[in-house]
Amino acid sequence: MPFDPILAEIRFGTGLSPLTGPPQSVAAMLRALRGTDHVARRVRLPLYSLVRPSLNDQRMASLARNAARGTDGLAAAQAALTALQREVREVQGRNLALTMARWAATGDGLRERLVGFWADHFTVIARNGGMAHMVTPFVEEVIRPRILGKFADLLWQVARHPLMQFYLDQRSSVGPQSQIGSRRDTGLNENYARELLELHTLGVDAPYDQTDVRQLAELLTGLTLRQDRSVFDPRLAEPGTETVLGETYGPDPSEAAIREVLGDLARHPATARHLARKLAVHFVSDRPPERLVADLADAYLGADGDLGALTGALLEHEDAWVPERAKVRLPFEFIAAGFRALGVGPDWFEALTLADTRRAIETPLRIMGQPFEHPPGPDGWAQEAASWIIPQGMAARINWAMTAPAKVVDALPDPRDFVVAALGPEAPEAVRFAAGAAESVGEGIGLVLASAAFQRR
Amino acid sequence: MQRRDFLIGGALAGCSLAASPLVTPIALASAPWDTRLVVIVLRGGLDGLDLVRPYGDAALAGLRPTLIDPATVGELDLDGFFAAHPAVAPLMPLWDAGDLGFYHAVSTPYRDKRSHFDGQDILEAGVAGIEGLASRDGWLNRLLQAVPGVSMETAFAIGREQMLILSGAAAASRWSPEARLALSPQTRRLLELVQHDDPPFRDASLAAIEIAEQIAQGEGEAGGQADMMTGEVFRGDHATVARFAAARLREETRIVSFSLGGFDSHADQQRGLPRALTALTETLLTLKAGLGDVWDRTAVLCVTEFGRTAQENGTRGTDHGTGGVMIHAGGAVRGGRVMGDWPGLRQSDLYDGRDLMPLRDLRAPAGWMMRGLFGVSTGIIERAVFPGVDLGADPGLLR
């Protein structure tokens, strides 16, 4: 089967762009992916370990404000706290604008797609306002450098990360028989252990049971946070051995035992199938061919849980290149592809104020049903087309298509040219006709962006 | 456009539509009951002690030195013991007509952590605690699963945020009042053309256009009614939501849920809370005006994730608490009463020494209301809708 650059950019990238041409071969795609991360150099996002204000900055400001109650210093202390809270919102707004900028401007769209895929796989949601600006930096520091590495390593880096520990309560899980658990009224929290098996590794249909969840939760005790940093605290760790999926760990609790179980879970055949299916569902079809899933799982297992091998196997599989575009662009992908087709460069995004970002990106995403970094739960965004092709979402997409482009570019392109820019030379005849028959340039552009052809990938 | 247009025969190869609520065959049937239910989630933790003030309790004045003025607290007297917050004065005609009532000292089963995030999840999931959240569906959706003849039109979640309360396996629609859509006839025709060969997109687009047009029409009509009945047409998102809700409920929709925010009154409560209570008031009045004679068959239930501390804090506000108040309204309810036992406000009466003591799981009166409105058995309510709830005696919230 000859390589189809248009399909490659639409299915595996972030959409066609007049600024960067589509990839010319699978080898070129993989080469780009393994090469320099150009767009991350051009469009900078903060790393988690460097992002400010930190939780501690906010805590200190809050304490200072409380201490200042009833004194002359209250107004200044309150202003300092309020300024930090405003900075959190500013950083979060920039995170959204610049993430969108990367999607719009990249010459290596597959990288953004994979980062998005694994960030969704390891969904973390900021449970308090002071962490709202930290999700993107988590993705930048933990996910982005590891999309082609060993899954076991990614799993461990996520497991110990403060955002995941906050989100799924690992930081407050205490072994009932541990030094601290036997004295205080605290106990085991199974939340993370359960999602680790159900969502991050084996998958819900895999052969594990409540005993495995409980044993894994006990094995994970000790993994917690001190001063917002990940530590292993033996005083919280459940003593004795634990058995997960028939493998015994211990008897001495340790970080090494946790890494061992995560490694075993990462290399489990059920995990291979779960990840393979999920990747195929994301890129190819809500019901991917079993052959594709099996081949991807084999590639993953054969390479000792290597995500680069998994990605390569997907791109090299003929089932991944079926011409039917069965998948629907999620709202973020849709808006990004729209900006991209319009040729909007990084400068435009970098100049956005917080209010601009909300108007141009955040609010439309929310109305379309995908508020930025706020999926409904730890299972991330629904992938099925049926979840997104609903009247409200469609109204929001059509409205965006008709009204946003004129606010984004100074001079709208000729809709008859835009059809080709957005959909390629094989654009459907009906869309070509509509673009030419529209009453205005804006409506012509809008019809192209609102078309089913543009919303599928 | 007819609902049957949603029945989609062919689909693109490889595209799964089996899970789509739009292609559920029962989408042709309309719900077999005629009563209407509106559930409003009051986000942020409504201070029940400020909305329905127990001014007959000697301890209140000491707990609320700046929030309540003893000289005027009785002006909106309800029953000699409770008085309403002045911001809801426009609702007093409803109270007098028996179309508005309160249930005091209730809460969800959620205790102690007092987190909005968890509290709202538990409120909307209708479960007994955090561990019940695993299924990630809402109690209104499980109610829908228990009744026959449910279509996409039967239940609507309205608003910006996703409503857990209506999420789940049963078909339900969602709409945001922000989702505006105004297309010229030519653009509409061309849009139909570009979607024509892709049935899911074609049908969703047509439905979007249809709903948007109904909203535009409904706003005109409902606005006119509000004008006649109250002399006022309210503005803002909440009024738009209420008008849309009323317009749907006058058609095939039977259940609507949406939320109102602004109840998290940590500081300067008497500046912030009246705004939220005014939005609530206008919402109820807009619903009544928009529903017309359907109001007589409608029950509105307003619930919040928790009440607030009995003692006001150092910034003329209140912090996250436990027991609070539930509001029921509509022509179908038996109002004009403040329901519930009164736990008292002395230090020893309070939950954890700080919050109004909840004496009843709010799921119990809500469950009885569902039984009365939709004929769902108490067994289904106790097992499926509100798992583990102790329904107790029927409080008789309906006429």
**DSSP per residue over A225-265, as a string?**
EETTEEEE-GGGSPPS-EEETTEEE-SS--HHHHHHHHHHH
Q: How many CA atoms lie within 13 A of A173 on its CB side?
A: 28
Neighbours of A66 (CB within 10 A): 12
CA A438 to chain B, closest CA, distance in angstroms equals 7
Place of tokens 């074609």: B202
Nearest to A451 among B20, B195, B207 (CB): B195
Note which residues in 143-202 of chain A have CB less than 8 A from chain B: 194
Region at A328 (left for phi over 0; alpha for psi -120 to 50; beta for the rest): beta
Chain A residues touching B27 at Cβ < 8 A: none
Residue partners of A142: CB distance under 8 A and separation at least 6? A48, A154, A157, A158, A161
**Interface-testing mutation among B22, B198, B258, B319, with chain A (most A C-beta atoms within 10 A):** B198
Give the residue from chain B lying closest to A394, CA to CA. Answer: B205
User: Which of A285, A391, A443 lies at the smallest CB-CB distance from B204?
Assistant: A391
Of B136, B186, B194, the CB nearest to A452: B194
- Among B279, B278, B256, B276, which Cα is nearest to B268's? B276
Nearest chain A residue (CA) to B192? A451
Which residue of B17, B187, B188 is the best one to mutate when testing the A interface, meaning the one whose CB has the most A CBs within 10 A? B187
Q: Which residue of A has its CA nearest to B209?
A: A395
Give me the residue label for tokens 């999840």.
Answer: B121
Query: What is the rounded CA–CA span in Å between residue B18 and residue B188?
Result: 28
Least reliable range by pLDDT among A96-100, A299-303, A313-317, B172-176: B172-176
Q: Which of A159-168, A339-348, B159-168 has the lowest mean pLDDT?
A: B159-168
Residues of B in contact with A434 (CB under 8 A): 190-191, 193-194
Give the closest residue to A266 by CA, choosing from A230, A231, A303, A292.
Answer: A303
Torsional class of A244: left (φ above 0), alpha (ψ -120 to 50), beta (otherwise): beta
CB A195 within 8 A of CB A168: yes
Cβ distance B117 to A439 less than 8 Å, yes or no, reads: no
Instruction: Name the one residue in this structure whose structure tokens are 């409608």.
Output: B298
Q: How far is B316 from chain A (nearest CA, A)?
A: 13
Using one digit for the tens of pLDDT, what is the confidence trace for B247-304? 889 988 999 999 998 899 988 899 999 999 999 999 999 999 999 999 999 999 999 9
Is A394 close to B194, i.e. CB distance below 8 A?
A: no
CATH number at residue B353: 3.40.720
Nearest Cα residue in chain A from B160? A367
What pLDDT score does B242 carry?
93
Give how many domains chain B has, as a whole number: 1
Helix axes A210-220, A255-266, angle to 10 degrees: 140
Contact A270, A207 (CB under 8 A): yes
Q: Which two tokens stand for residue A256?
A: 């090494």
> Would you call B195 and A452 a contact, using CB atoms and an 8 Å cutoff?
yes
Q: Do residue B22 and residue A386 have CB atoms under 8 angstroms apart?
A: yes
Mutate to test the interface with B, among A394, A419, A448, A451 (most CBs of B within 10 A): A394
Chain A residues within 8 A of B193 when measuring between CB atoms: 430, 433-434
Is A395 an interface residue toward B (CB < 8 Å)? yes
Indicate if the pLDDT at residue A277 is higher than 60. Answer: yes
In this structure, is residue B322 part of a structural domain?
yes
Q: Do A326 and B207 touch (CB under 8 A)?
A: no
Per-residue pLDDT at B2: 34
Please check whether residue A418 is in contact with residue A411, taking contact to mean a CB–CB distance below 8 angstroms: no
Is this complex's ipTM strictly greater than 0.90? yes
Supply B295's token pair.
């109001």
Residues 169-198 of chain B with CB under 8 A from chain A are: 173-176, 178-181, 183-184, 186-187, 190-191, 193-198
Residue window 204-233, chain B: list those with CB within 8 Å of chain A. Answer: 204-205, 207-212
Name chain B contacts of A438, Cβ cutoff 8 Å: 186-187, 190
> Which residues in B lie closer than 8 A to residue A363 (C-beta atoms)?
178
R_g of chain A computed on alpha carbons: 24
- Rounded to 5 degrees, what are φ and ψ at A225? -120, 140
- Low pLDDT (below 50) residues in chain B: 1-29, 222-229
Instruction: Locate the chain B residue with the closest alpha carbon to A432.
Output: B194
Closest CA to A130 of A205, A45, A61: A61
- Cβ–Cβ contacts within 10 Å for residue A5, how many? 18
**pLDDT tens, residue by residue, A393-448:** 999 999 999 999 999 998 999 999 999 999 999 999 999 999 999 999 999 999 99
What pLDDT, on the 0 to 100 scale, is given for residue B266?
A: 87
B286 in helix, strand or coil? helix
Confidence of residue A269 (pLDDT cuts 50, 70, 90): very high
3-state SS, residue B103: strand
CA B329, CA B94: separation in Å to the nearest integer? Answer: 8
Question: Position of tokens 């259940």?
Answer: B255
pLDDT score at B180: 77
Nearest residue in B to A377, CA atom: B136
Question: What residues make up the domain containing B265?
Answer: 34-176+232-385
Taking the C-alpha atoms of residue A419 and residue B314, their distance in angstroms, rounded to an integer, is: 61
CB contact under 8 A, A450 and B198: no
Give the other-Cβ count within 10 Å of A125's Cβ. 19
CA dihedral A37, A39, A43, A49 (to 10 degrees): -20
Determine contact: A324 vs chain B, CB below 8 A: yes
Per-residue pLDDT at A109: 97
B357 touches chain A (CB under 8 A): no
Is A287 within 8 Å of chain B by CB? yes
pLDDT the model gives residue A98: 98
- Contact yes or no for B14 and A285 at CB 8 A: yes
Residue B7 lies in a domain: no
On whether residue B43 sits in a domain, the answer given is yes
Q: Regarding predicted confidence, which is higher, A19 or B130?
A: A19
Which of A210, A277, A398 best tests the B interface by mutation, with the highest count of B CBs <10 A? A398
Question: Of the candidates A326, A399, A448, which has its C-beta nearest B12's C-beta?
Answer: A326
A366 touches B: beta carbon within 8 Å: yes
Q: CA-CA distance, A431 to A303, in Å (whole number)?
A: 44
- Please name the residues between 61 and 100 in chain A that touch chain B, using a CB distance below 8 Å: 69
Residue of B164, B178, B193 with shortest CB distance to A434: B193
Contact list in B for residue A390 (CB cut-off 8 A) is 22, 173-174, 204
CA pair distance B141, B156, nearest whole angstrom: 11
Helix (H) or strand (E) holding A13: none
Strands B324-329 and B298-304: antiparallel
Domain parsing of chain A, residue ranges: 5-147, 163-266, 331-455
**Distance separating alpha carbons of residues B1 and A42, to the nearest angstrom:** 49
Characterize the bridge pairing of strands B100-107 and B338-339: parallel
CB contacts, 8 Å: B19 with chain A? 384, 386
Contacts of B380 (CB under 8 A, 6+ apart): B146
Size of interface A-B (CB pairs under 8 A): 145
